[in-house]
Amino acid sequence: MKTVKLANGIDMPVLGLGVFKVAEGAELVSAVKEAIRLGYRSIDTAAIYGNEASTGQGIRESGIPREELFITSKVWNADLGYEETLAAFDETMRKMELDYLDLYLIHWPADNRYIDAWRALETLYKAGRIRAIGVSNFQIHHLETLKNHATIMPTINQVELHPRLTQKELIAYCQENNIHVEAWSPLMQGWLFDNQTLQAIAAYHNKTIAQIILRWDLQNGIIAIPKSTKPHRIAENMDIFDFELTLDEIAKIDALNQNRRVGPDPDNIDF
Ligand code: NAD
């Protein structure tokens, strides 16, 4: 699996498996194991997904040494605060039955409690319990606020990003500040599969629309975490390393941007 080097020098796979909306249980355990068997090395979960136990089980049963995997979880809004976030991390570790995480993210910039939560992430990072720390759904102004308080800046900003929400300004800011951008809902939760521009590019390369979008992420330096529990789709989403989009094709995909979200607007959240 291809990797990128994060600001603190650690390697992160460019592609991972997302497990949002998959319940605890056998289906999730086998999806995680199947992904790892196929060559995925990165799994993205979160406390709020309510599935950290099965995700951890799949990881432990994969047969791949822990140090070869890259595991992400996220602290939920209700647990933002210094002591609260330390406790939430312990709970995540207990559920996942892991000794450390590769990446721990603040899930949303819910009011200003993310500043104290960030101090907790710094403590956990310095104690060696997390290999990298980052944020999710942060706009430029949230990152600027964090900059005034942080001793370590985030290595990752995981945000909604797909051809209808290309996030160019945020990407430019993150690149200038050595923060890697990671795309959630990279496939726009299925809303782009009848798009004619993408269909034409897919037909030309003999690939699927999912593969075209994930390749577009890759060539733009964006880490992606598409979700599926179906083995053939998990395999399909990884089969993106044997072709290349032209600059013209990338520009055509960029032009699909409508600043349209499938998820909440980080500046307007009520949860
Ligand atoms: P996604 O864009 O990955 O789309 C998932 C949907 O597309 C599923 O219904 C799946 O069955 C389908 N799909 C996947 N591969 C396919 C393929 N090759 N062909 C056809 N259909 C396919 O959406 P998502 O699950 O919302 O996002 C991916 C991951 O991002 C999540 O699982 C989660 O880990 C993460 N996420 C993070 C946040 C956040 O706030 N940080 C929010 C949402 C999701």
pLDDT in tens, 32-57: 999 999 999 999 999 999 999 999 99
Q: Which atom of ligand 1 is nearest to the CA of 74?
A: 41
| 12 lies in some domain | yes
Which residue, judged by its Cα, is nearest atom 4 of ligand 1? 189
For 73, 142, 240, the CA distances from 50, given in Å and listed in that order, are 11, 26, 30
What's the mean pLDDT when you consider all of the chain? 98
| 71 lies in some domain | yes
pLDDT level of residue 270 (50, 70, 90 thresholds): confident
Question: What whole-number distance in Å separates Cα of residue 68 and Cα of residue 73?
Answer: 17
pLDDT in tens, 103-157: 999 999 998 899 999 999 999 999 999 999 999 999 999 999 999 999 999 999 9
| 246 lies in some domain | no
Question: What whole-number distance in Å separates Cα of residue 66 and Cα of residue 52?
Answer: 16
Domain count for the chain, please give it: 1
| 72 lies in some domain | yes
pLDDT in tens, 213-249: 999 999 999 999 999 999 999 999 999 999 999 999 9
Q: Which of 40, 49, 104, 114 is catalytic?
A: 49
Structural domain boundaries enclosing 156: 3-191+221-231
In this model, does residue 24 exceed pLDDT 90? Answer: yes
| 243 lies in some domain | no
Query: The domain spanning residue 91 has which CATH number?
Result: 3.20.20.100
User: For residue 111, what pLDDT is reported?
Assistant: 84
Exposed e or buried b per residue across 79-96, where buried means at least 16 C-beta atoms within 10 angstroms of its C-beta = bbbbebbbebbeebbebb
Which residue, judged by its Cα, is nearest atom 17 of ligand 1? 233
| 270 lies in some domain | no
